[in-house]
Chain A
Amino acid sequence: AQTVTQSQPEMSVQEAETVTLSCTYDTSESDYYLFWYKQPPSRQMILVIRQEAYKQQNATENRFSVNFQKAAKSFSLKISDSQLGDAAMYFCAYSTSGTYKYIFGTGTRLKVLA
């Protein structure tokens, strides 16, 4: 069975600094997708970034980028130039290609200090 592990329950970062959130996963599949979702206090889960396993290039969305290490089954999220609005819970998620089952990690609460 696939699993997703986020080992950092909480992280803090100074405004304008860079922070990296960790995520590891376990799967025997070769074709899958990985996601980072943000859940601000408003509760709505919002997709931050998505990575296809078959792509070697790391995904980037503005200040957000990932470090995807397929062999190590690691998928970390780097937030550059952190802003107060980045404060939220961040969830790592996995889905096998062609299936509807998304597996979510337990989340990392990010605090941004002014």
Chain B
Amino acid sequence: DAGVIQSPRHEVTEMGQEVTLRCKPISGHDSLFWYRQTMMRGLELLIYFNNNVPIDDSGMPEDRFSAKMPNASFSTLKIQPSEPRDSAVYFCASTAEGWITGELFFGEGSRLTVL
């Protein structure tokens, strides 16, 4: 089975532009997470979905960030407008609820650079 698939792998954009990151979780997983990784703050949970419903978005930094999960096989994280401080690696991870507190399966991450 394919793992968690994220795109793009790298994104370079200019301040003010809209950025959309995409994630396809592992088939059958009903829990999806978006994390942000920076040197300064480490790995931070941005938002958690269960059965396509956002359960906890308290980690979303501000209104410029939004996330959707229109179906069980696709999620997006959008930043509009982007700022240089949004530069980071963004990870998507999934697991099955029955395994919660079990293994998180991570994608390869999307490295975002905002100039």
Contacts and interface: CB of A to CB of B under 8 A. Distances in A.
B108 A102 contact: no
A42 to B, nearest CB: 7
Interface stretch (B12-20, B21-29, B40-48, B70-78): B40-48
B67 to A, nearest CB: 15
B42 A99 contact: no
Residue among B45, B100, B107 with max Cβ neighbours from chain A (10 Å): B100
B39 to A, nearest CB: 9
A50 B106 CA distance: 15
Contact of A44 (B48, B100, B101, B106): B106
A90 B1 CA distance: 25
A45 B106 contact: yes
Interface residues of A, number: 23
B53 to A, nearest CB: 12
Contact of A100 (B42, B50, B89): B50
Interface string B71-108: 00000000000000000010101000000111110111
B48 A100 contact: yes
Contacts of A43: 89, 108-109, 111
A47 B103 contact: yes
B104 A102 contact: yes
Interface string A30-47: 001101000000111111
Interface of A: 32-33, 35, 42-47, 50, 91, 95-102, 104-107
20 contacts: A33-B102, A35-B103, A42-B108, A43-B109, A44-B3, A45-B93, A46-B106, A47-B104, A50-B102, A95-B101, A96-B101, A97-B101, A98-B101, A99-B100, A100-B33, A100-B56, A101-B45, A102-B104, A104-B42, A106-B42
Interface of B: 3, 31, 33, 42-43, 45, 48, 50, 55-56, 89, 91, 93, 100-104, 106-109, 111
**Closest 8 A/B residue pairs (Cβ):** A45-B106, A104-B43, A95-B101, A43-B109, A44-B108, A33-B101, A47-B103, A106-B42
